[in-house]
Each structure stands twice: as structure tokens, then as C-alpha cells.
Structure 1
């Protein structure tokens, strides 16, 4: 069991996304963090520079379309989150954490949705 609040970190992540606050968002990640996105093919982003490039573009999309928290659940390995963009249920993200309470890895994939809805990743 960790001695930090994993759910709280994910809530902070959601808040940073909603506000479009890239600096705060990046500070939640470990220096060697990795994000794997399987929404449109499989892409991996490693380290602060690649995460900054990825999230810079994504936060712009979130701010114009709207970002909503759908579900957040603790799991034995971390936390799962479902969020929507533009009121369409869209993305499920699994968060894994480093021992010091930073996001170490993430896997995002499309959540169940109608084929016409598309994906935000």
C-alpha cells in the first residue's frame, strides 16, 4: 500500500486538464514517465519533453470541446479513470505510480462508445 493519495493525484490531473494548466499537469509525472495511447494506433510518449508535446496539443482540444470526469476507481495497481470530451464518453486511462507519488505510466484506450463518437486521444 502506498503512503500517498493516488486518487488525489488523479483528481489533481483532472483539474489540471480542465484548467488547461500544462505546467501543473507535467509536474504530476515522474521524470521518466511513459504514456501509451492506443486510441488511434499505438503511440508511446516518454519523458517530460514528449509528454509536454503530447499534452500541449491535447489540452487545447480539451479547452475548446470540454473535459468531463465520468468515473474514477482505485485498482490494485493504481487508478482507472474514464473521461469524456465534448460530452461523449470516450477514454479510459490506467494510472500507475512511482514510489514517490508521481505518475510513472499511463495507458489510455477508447472506452465503450458508439462508433460515430470518435476518440479524443
Structure 2
């Protein structure tokens, strides 16, 4: 299903996602995800399903984030959502893909380290 740009601004959702991460606000972050969202993390080699799993993944990262964490380096609208390059909670460069559902919530994300070249992750 395509996203109607008139009804939903995926870039604004990404700004909200980054802001929640910068503030360390886990509840605000989770509110952006669909209950059945899937997250594939190439950084740690894990696949998570559902808000509870995503909460368990993000909670320690938000608590231990560096000052430079979640600074946006690049953003691109893709055919299925949004791709961002940003600084991880550790201050390392990461690429994240987001796909949104009909509820305008995040239904899928994948991420991986940049390491000086494009991350080898799939936007599905």
C-alpha cells in the first residue's frame, strides 16, 4: 500500500522518532511503532517482532546514549518509506530504513552499520 503524502508525512514521523531517541523517551518512541512491527538489526544480528521486543532492544541504548547520538546525517524518501543515516546511541554511523503501515505507524525497520560504505541491509 502506498503512503498518501496528503494524509501522512513520513519525514515528520522520522523527526519524531529521532526526537524521542534524543530525549531518551522510550514511551514516545514505542508510540510510533505498530503493535506487530518488525525490526531487523544488522548491527547485532537480531530480528525483533512487536513493541515489547523493540522496547527491550531500545531501553538500554536510550539510557546509555552518547551526547552525539541520533544526529541526522542524511534522509531519503524511498519507494516504500524513508532511509536515514544517523549517529547511533554509541555515536557510530548507521543506516536505518523505515516502512509505515496504513495506521501511519512504523511496521518495519532494518538497520546496519555504515563503516564508510553503504550498509548491507534490505528495505524490504
Confirm or deny a common fold (TM above 0.5): yes
RMSD: 1.9
Q: Deviations over 1:10-49 (max 9, x none)?
A: 1100000000010000000001001100113x20111111
More helix by share: 1
Structure 2 segments unaligned to the other structure (5+ residues): 118-124
Residue 66 of structure 1 is matched in structure 2 by: 68
SS of match in other structure, 1:51: helix
More strand by share: 1
Alpha-carbon separation, structure 2, partners of 1:96 and 1:103: 6
Tell me the number of residue pairs that the alignment of Structure 1 and Structure 2 aligns: 112
Alpha-carbon separation, structure 1, partners of 2:82 and 2:62: 21
Runs of 4 or more above 2 Å deviation: 85-89
Q: Is the contact made by 2:36 and 2:50 (CA closer than 8 Å) also made in structure 1?
A: yes
Q: TM-score, normalised on structure 1?
A: 0.84
Q: TM-score, normalised on structure 2?
A: 0.82
* 1:112 Cα offset (Å): 3.2
Greater RCO between the two (CA within 8 Å, min separation 6)?
1
- Tell me which of 92, 95, 100 is aligned to 2:103: 100
Residue 120 of structure 2 is matched in structure 1 by: none
